[in-house]
Amino acid sequence: MTRQVIHIPTLNDRPDDFAWLFQIWKEANDNFEDIRFDFSHCNFLRPNAVAFLGGLARLIESRSGSCEFDWPTLRRGAVLTNLCQNGFAGIFGYPSPSWHGNSIPYREDEKLDMNGIMDYLTFNWIGKGWVHVSERLRDAIAGRMWEIYSNAFEHSGSAIGVFSCGQHYWRHNTLILSVVDFGQGIPAIVRSFLSQHVEAELVSKLSGATCLKWAFESGNSTSVDGVARGLGLDLLKEFIRLNQGKLEVYSNNAYAIVDKDGDRYENRNLNFEGTAVHITLRCDERLYQFRDEDG
């Protein structure tokens, strides 16, 4: 049996790097029986790439394919060290335990595990000491981040669940969280929902960016149980703005960014069946206080 070899390049977290990840997803999708990931051209992997590749491996396995990370091809010691530290290498066959460092563990959630995810956000991510926050603020931030997982599990329809990874970068003083699902994608879900009420032909004219924008607006939801929803992304956006951080979402062919300059929604030359959420927080302690907390 021949294995399809997919080369993993150096992957940062700029839009071009996400485009590479979606290209890798497409290659794997076109040939999802037996795949070997080769790292010989890889000098750096950001947590978005780690979460994405882990999820992609599980996607291939879920379709009865097999998947191998070819560890000997990873020549760059720092990349291997990071993948060992965050637990990814150990999970995918490299004999190494994880340990505490600047990385935030790679995590797989096939099913919604509220306490597991909240512990991860509370103690391994925001509460790990990268930035001094009160317990109250730590708990508040973890609650806002929960909204990403809630949306992914409730709406995406991802059969293999949700994949996360993070990292703290001392040099930039930023804290990253990347969460990926391999469900339908937000524009597809919005179109499918609106098609239940309006002719599909009309709904099909809605662009990906427009659908993403609709999903981000307060009070809009694709749930049909008669309970008012649609606040989660709005609450998250508020926090991101206060923190002067950045929230980026890639879903189907659409891209959204929320930062200090506002919200922007764009159609991109991408095609990813799923959603990747990438959050960058600033660790400046002046940004981490409630109004009633002393400076």
Partner 1 sequence: MKLSVKNHIGPRCIIKEDGQKIYDAIHGALRQGESVNLDFEGVSQFASPFFNFAIGQLLKDIAESDLRTLLHLDHLNETGKLVVERVIENAARYHGDKDYRQIVDDILESQAKESV
Binding site for partner 1 (CB under 8 A): 112, 114-115, 118, 122, 135-136, 139-140, 142-144, 146-147, 150, 154, 194, 197-198, 202-203, 205-207, 210, 214, 218-219, 226-232, 234-235, 290, 292
User: What is the DSSP-derived secondary structure letter of residue 43?
Assistant: S
User: What are the distances in angstroms from CA 201 to CA 45, 209, 212, 254?
Assistant: 41, 18, 19, 20
Taking alpha carbons only, the member of 160, 188, 180 closest to residue 271 is 188
Residue with smaller CB distance to partner 1, 22 or 146: 146
Residue with smaller CB distance to partner 1, 40 or 223: 223
Q: Could you tell me which residues come within 8 angstroms of residue 288 by beta carbon, excluding any fewer than 6 positions away?
A: 131, 132, 133, 137, 243
Shortest approach of partner 1 to residue 39 CB, angstroms? Answer: 37
Shortest approach of partner 1 to residue 250 CB, angstroms? Answer: 20
Half-sphere exposure of 91 (CA within 13 A, CB side): 17
Shortest approach of partner 1 to residue 215 CB, angstroms? Answer: 11
| Full 3-state SS string of 209-237 | HHHHHHHHCCCCCCCCCCCCCCCHHHHHH
Cα–Cα distance between 88 and 103 in angstroms, integer? 11
Residue with smaller CB distance to partner 1, 80 or 118: 118
Residue with smaller CB distance to partner 1, 91 or 118: 118
Residue with smaller CB distance to partner 1, 23 or 210: 210
Q: Which helix (H) or strand (E) holds 274?
A: strand 262-282
CA angle 177, 34, 14 (to 5 degrees): 30
Shortest approach of partner 1 to residue 228 CB, angstroms? Answer: 4
Cα–Cα distance between 78 and 243 in angstroms, integer? 30
Residue 111 corresponds to which tokens in the numbers above? 């099913």
